[in-house]
Amino acid sequence: MASLRTRLILIVAGAGAIVTLGLLLLTLNAGCPSQERAPACTRVLFIGNSYTTVNDLPGVFASLARSGGHRVETKSAAVDGWTLANHADSPATATALAASPWDIVVLQEQSQFPAIEEFRQTQMYPAARRLIGSIRNRGARPLLYLTWGRRDGWPETGMPTYASMQSAIDDGYLAIAADQRVAISPVGYAWASVVTSEAAASLWQQDGSHPSEAGTYLAACVFYATIFRQSPKGLGYHGSLSAEAAGMIQSVAAETVLGDPAKWPAPAE
C-alpha cells in the first residue's frame, strides 16, 4: 500500500501543478443584493477540484436555480487535483470561506481517495472534520459532494469495474456523513442510475474520469434537488443538451434525491 500511496500522491500533486499554481477563487454568479443572510437568496461555496471546475458546475447550478425561480450566489474555491487536506491547510480556502455569509458550503474530495480505506482514515476524514467544523463555526451548512467512479474502475487497487469503484466511493462518503451528521448530494447514486441506461457513455469525457457536459448537468440537477427540496423536472435551462436528454437527467436526479428524502435530507447546520 505504501507504493500505492506514493503513486497517488504524485498523481494528485502533478495534476495540481500542471493546471494551476494557486487557488482559484471564481465568482460565478453574484445574485444576492447584500452581504447579509437573507431567505430570498441562497449563497453556495463549492470547495473541491476539477470535478467541480470542469464545465463550471457552480455556474450550471446557478443557471438551473434561476430557471427555477431561485436567487443564488455561487463561488468556487478549487484547484485541479487538490484533496480536502490541501484545502484544510490552505489560507486561500480559509479566506474564501470567510468572504461571504455562505448558506451552504460543498465539500468535494479528490476523486480516488474515498475509495481507499487508508486514504479515508489518514487524509480524507481528518480534513473533512476540520473543514466541517470551520463551516459550522461560520453559521453555514456543510454538504458533501458524493462523486462517481471512473468508467473503467481502478484495477490497480482491486476495483476492476465502474460499479466496484462506485460502491467503494459511496462507502467512503456515507461513513463520514454519518460520523459528522452531514447531508450528502448523491451525485454518484444518480450517475449509477444513468449508467444502467443507454445514455451511460455520455456522462464521462474520453478520459473516463471527468464529466462531460451531461455529467455536469446531472450533478447540478442533483444539487438543485438536494438544496431546494424541489424537483428539477421541467426546468427550462438545458445548457447545450437537447430537451430530451435534459429531461431524462432531470428525472433521474429528482427520483434519486426526492424518492428517498430520509436517506438524502436537506443540508443542516
User: Tell me: the pLDDT tens digits for 240-267?
Assistant: 999 999 999 999 999 999 999 999 999 9
Here the cell at position 164 is: 466496484
Which pLDDT does position 29 carry in this prediction?
52
State how far Cα 78 lies from the chain centre.
Answer: 11
Which pLDDT does position 10 carry in this prediction?
41
Q: In this predicted model, which residue has the larger pLDDT, 188 or 17?
A: 188
How many Cβ atoms from other residues are within 10 Å of residue 126's Cβ?
Answer: 14
Least Cα distance to 51 among 94, 113, 116 occurs for 113
Give the β-pairing of 141-145 and 104-107.
Answer: parallel
Which pLDDT does position 1 carry in this prediction?
43
> d(Cα 261, Cα 196) in Å, to the nearest integer?
22
CB 71 within 8 A of CB 31: yes
Whether the full predicted model's pTM is greater than 0.85, yes or no, is yes
Which pLDDT does position 196 carry in this prediction?
84
Mean pLDDT computed over 88-115: 97
| DSSP states along 11-29 | HHHHHHHHH-SS-EEEEEE
Read off the DSSP letter of residue 154. Answer: B
Which pLDDT does position 22 carry in this prediction?
42
Place of cell 454519518: 178
> d(Cα 48, Cα 150) in Å, to the nearest integer?
17
25 pLDDT higher than 70: no
* Mean pLDDT computed over every residue of the chain: 89
> d(Cα 61, Cα 26) in Å, to the nearest integer?
14
Order of strands across the sheet with 183-185?
A: 24-29, 71-78, 41-48, 104-107, 141-145, 183-185
Q: What is the pLDDT of residues 157-200, one digit of tens each?
A: 999 999 999 999 999 999 999 999 999 999 999 999 999 886 65
Mean pLDDT computed over 26-48: 74
> d(Cα 58, Cα 31) in Å, to the nearest integer?
13
Mean pLDDT computed over 213-238: 98
Q: What angle do CA 92, 186, 89 make, to 5 degrees?
A: 20
How many Cβ atoms from other residues are within 10 Å of residue 189's Cβ?
Answer: 21
